[in-house]
Amino acid sequence: KTGLIKDMTLAQVKELKVSTDVEPNGIYRVPTLVEVLDLMRTTDMMVNIELKNSICFPLLFLPFFYMPLLKLF
């Protein structure tokens, strides 16, 4: 499937296969934020989360949506 992520369901995003210029034959899955945070919990590395603004979900409301999730980690 191709198209904008914002137009896909989570199930469709999880089915995507992503490759990179560095490893064009490598296939990677797109993780959710919870999956990334759970993985990072076992390391001493930090995660920098950049929130993007959109018409569907204005930046003003993003902190209220994500802060309870981030407090779990």
**Residue range 1-53, pLDDT digits in tens:** 678 887 889 899 888 877 777 776 767 788 888 888 888 888 999 888 876 66
Query: What pLDDT is stored for residue 49 in this prediction?
Result: 81
Residues 6+ apart with CB under 8 A from 38: 73
Higher per-residue pLDDT: 62 or 25: 25
The answer to pTM > 0.85 is no
**C-alpha span between 54 and 44 (Å, rounded):** 32
